[in-house]
Structure 1
Amino acid sequence: MALLSLGIVGFGVMGERLVRMAFPHPEMRLAGVWDPSPEAVARLSAAAPGVPMLPGAEAVIAACDVLYVAAPPAAHIPLARAALAAGRAVLLEKPLATGLAEAEAFVAEAEAAGARAAVNFPMASSPAVAQLDRWRQEGTVGAPRRLEIATDFGRWPRGWQNDAAGWLARRAEGGFTREVVSHFLFLTRRQLGPLALQSARVTYPAGDGAETAIEAELTAGGVPVSLRGSVGRIAEDEANSWTLTGEAGAIRLRNWSLAEQLEKDGEWRQAAGALSNDAMRPMVLRGQLEKLAALARGGQHSLATLREALEVQQVVEAVLRG
């Protein structure tokens, strides 16, 4: 089967990670990249020698079968619309847009057209999440009773995101709720069912800076969910956990990649073969590309749908409104 050609618009952290960690890939080749930053040319040359930095987004769309939109949020839907109109499959970063009305209109038109489009929530390909699924199927948790989500950051943006601080640190497009909490809400939606926000409190700094703390109560498929997040309360760069407690026991996902089970002695035990997030990331990204190839060829896949991403964004924006 012929390799599919992948084009990338936006060569920041996410685009560069995909190139460095997921290629060579048995189903895809890189057709070209575009990013307006002069520094991106040197980074692309180092990450993928021979892959061209094309003159614009239109050139990338023309050169590819599948477009990965890794640009800032305001560009997501315009680029996706252009690629879909040209007959390309599309993988978007989240959030779908900076405004809910634009996101809702896009999802409705894309669904009506049967568009080949999905959103990059990597937990769809996480081995740690697959372990959580196995534990639940084995009866480790039983009927879910409650879920707790915690996300804490030493600073925001995180150190490795400094190049994108111009928008990630701002209230209009950035913040940890959109950037990080959305992943755990996607996981919650997949595991438990539809999300419904009950209450929320949010703390903002003076000016136009992104949130520094959130607290929220939700339900997911009727299961109570508590959510909290903060900036500046911990010394390390980041710590997060997703903890599901049921009638039979408890399991959690900690720091993105560590699947853990609560033992009878009250201690948490990691799954056999657990990997750090850095070690697991290449496996996850290659899995995402495998699913993206299936999407592009019209096959079955488990990537996040546009509808799932929209439902997550609706909850995120409701939390940020407090």
Structure 2
Amino acid sequence: MAPVRIGIIAFGIMGERLARAILAHDPDKITLSGVLDPAPAAIERLRRDLPEAPVAASREALIEASDCVYVASPPASHIEHARAALAAGRALFCEKPLAVDGAETEAFVREAEAAGARAAVNFPFASSFAVDQIREWMADGTVGAPRRVTIEIAFAEWPRPWQADAKAWLDRPEQGGFTREVASHFLFLTRRLIGPMELRRRGADFPEAGASERSASADLLVGALPVRFEGRVGGTSAADHNLWTLEGTEGTVRLRDWSFAERHDSDGTWRETLDALPNERARPLVLRRQLDKVAALTEGRPQDLATLREALEVQAIVESILAGDPA
């Protein structure tokens, strides 16, 4: 079979990461058909850092040259690009959230599902090696019956240092904030491993005019199982620290800092798996797995990428948290 041609809309952090992952992949399976970005500085950086990457002249030209379109632009533009790709009969791989308006997102997901569209959302936990380990511990009795999930995320500053160039939208309440950008991944993880969530209490604090939240919290339920989320900017020296902890009747396990699966031993210590990798080293391996699944999606083969429906459920919870009373 011919390689799957993937086109990328927007050459920001995520666009660049996926472009590099495509160029490092087996070219007989996946190729980069083009990159589109309206910002001259982004295209200049693309030509300098990835001179082998083709530059698309327009969105129409990119879609025409692609089998699958990856949308990595700021959230407010996601659905416009997504609809254009699906209308042309292409597969869609989109960043989250699907949109900044819940009603628009719900309408889009209904349309895509009714049309049988080939579409998925980029939640990399769907391909995480550490999550595979958590799932194995859940299956082999290490955890027992789940009793509680706790999500904790913290940042020395927001946006994180490597996102400074995106501050214009990433630190604005309309599209940005850590709840949308980071907490959504852990809510997806909870949805995928534990089940659909019901939001019971939520809140977010916006102390700086015109800026995104500086703290957020929520209590949720998966059936009768409680899920607690806490997030904040400040109170840590870490640029990006996170914990997803699952307590069970037989034991407790957690995912730390994106890529470390750890088990709580009887002596009170946390032990990570011997093959654990820090996120910087794990990320390209996970992206490769994601790309293999994107190829399967495009070719109509089975895969387990995040569905539009899962992304819609996560977005609804995120937006409810942000619209709640101060935490």
Task: Please tell me the TM-score bracket, short chain as reference.
Answer: over 0.9
Question: Structure 1 residue 147: deviation in Å?
Answer: 0.6
Deviation track 1:117-147 (CA, whole Å, cap 9, x = no partner) reads 0000000000000011111111110000001
Q: TM-score, normalised by structure 2?
A: 0.96
Equivalent of 2:280 in 278, 281, 289: 278
Q: C-alpha distance in 2, partners of 1:83/1:130? A: 31
Aligned match of 1:174 = 176
Question: Structure 1 residue 39: deviation in Å?
Answer: 1.8
Equivalent of 1:159 in 161, 166, 172: 161
Amino acid at match of 2:140: E
Deviation track 1:6-60 (CA, whole Å, cap 9, x = no partner) reads 1000100001011223433232100110111112223222443232221222221
Aligned match of 1:81 = 83
Aligned match of 1:229 = 231
Instruction: Say which is worse superposed, 40-49 or 274-283, in terms of deviation.
Output: 40-49
Report the secondary structure of 2:150's partner residue: strand
**Aligned 8 A contact 1:192 1:221 in 2:** no
Deviation track 1:255-311 (CA, whole Å, cap 9, x = no partner) reads 000000000011000012100000000111001110010000111000000000000
**Aligned 8 A contact 1:251 1:259 in 2:** yes
Q: C-alpha distance in 2, partners of 1:19/1:175? A: 25
Q: C-alpha distance in 2, partners of 1:81/1:175? A: 25
Q: C-alpha distance in 2, partners of 1:175/1:221? A: 28
Q: C-alpha distance in 2, partners of 1:201/1:69? A: 30
Amino acid at match of 1:13: I
**Aligned 8 A contact 1:67 1:91 in 2:** yes
**Aligned 8 A contact 2:123 2:188 in 1:** yes
Aligned identity (percent) is: 54
Aligned match of 2:310 = 308
Amino acid at match of 1:225: V
**Aligned 8 A contact 2:8 2:19 in 1:** no
Report the secondary structure of 1:140's partner residue: coil
Question: Structure 1 residue 221: deviation in Å?
Answer: 3.9
Amino acid at match of 1:258: F
- 1:134-153 to structure 2, matched below 5 A, reads 134-153=136-155
Aligned match of 1:19 = 19
**Aligned 8 A contact 1:198 1:216 in 2:** yes
Report the secondary structure of 1:102's partner residue: helix
Aligned match of 2:217 = 215
Question: Structure 1 residue 67: deviation in Å?
Answer: 0.2
Question: Structure 1 residue 63: deviation in Å?
Answer: 1.1
Report the secondary structure of 1:23's partner residue: helix
Assess, with a 3 A threshold, how the Cα gap between structure 1 residues 291 and 145 changes in structure 2: closer, same or farther.
same
Report the secondary structure of 1:41's partner residue: helix
Aligned match of 1:3 = 3
Q: C-alpha distance in 2, partners of 1:163/1:90? A: 26
Report the secondary structure of 1:240's partner residue: strand
Report the secondary structure of 2:113's partner residue: helix
- 1:1-322 to structure 2, matched below 5 A, reads 1-26=1-26, 27-322=29-324
**Aligned 8 A contact 1:19 1:47 in 2:** no
Structure 2: which 5+ runs fail to align?
A: none
Instruction: Say which is worse superposed, 36-45 or 255-264, in terms of deviation.
Output: 36-45
Q: C-alpha distance in 2, partners of 1:222/1:99? A: 30
Instruction: Say which is worse superposed, 38-47 or 245-254, in terms of deviation.
Output: 38-47
Deviation track 1:53-99 (CA, whole Å, cap 9, x = no partner) reads 21222221111110000001111111111111101000000001010
Report the secondary structure of 2:24's partner residue: coil
Report the secondary structure of 2:15's partner residue: helix
Report the secondary structure of 1:59's partner residue: helix
Instruction: Say which is worse superposed, 201-210 or 37-46, in terms of deviation.
Output: 37-46
Amino acid at match of 1:110: A
**Aligned 8 A contact 2:242 2:258 in 1:** yes
Instruction: Say which is worse superposed, 148-157 or 200-209, in terms of deviation.
Output: 200-209
Q: C-alpha distance in 2, partners of 1:216/1:268? A: 26
Instruction: Say which is worse superposed, 221-230 or 262-271, in terms of deviation.
Output: 221-230
RMSD across aligned positions (CA)? 1.0
Q: C-alpha distance in 1, partners of 2:234/2:268? A: 29
Report the secondary structure of 2:241's partner residue: strand
**Aligned 8 A contact 1:16 1:47 in 2:** no
**Aligned 8 A contact 2:22 2:31 in 1:** no
**Aligned 8 A contact 1:7 1:61 in 2:** yes
